[in-house]
Amino acid sequence: MDAMHLIANGQAMAAEQYASVPRTMPGCGIIALAGADEIKASLPNMDVMRLGELPDELPCNFALILNGLRGFRLDLMANGFQLLERWQMAAPLWSYTELACHIGSEADRAQTKAIIRDLRVPVYDVRAVFVRKCDETAEVLRQWKAECGQQ
Report pLDDT digits (tens) over 35-79. Answer: 888 888 888 888 888 877 888 888 899 999 999 888 888 888 889
Report pLDDT digits (tens) over 129-143. Answer: 999 999 999 999 999
Domains of the chain: which residue ranges?
A: 19-91+126-151, 95-124
The full DSSP string for 78-142 is HHHHHHTTT-SEE--BS-SS-BGGGSS-HHHHHHHHHHHS---SB-B-TTEEEEE-SHHHHHHHH
Of 23-27, 57-61, 123-127, where does mean pLDDT reach its minimum? Answer: 23-27
The percentage of residues in the chain with a pLDDT greater than 70, rounded to a whole number, is 85
As beta bridge partners, residue 104 has none
Of 16-20, 24-28, 103-107, 112-116, where does mean pLDDT reach its minimum? Answer: 16-20
In angstroms, rounded to a whole number, what is the distance separating the alpha carbons of residues 144 and 11? Answer: 39
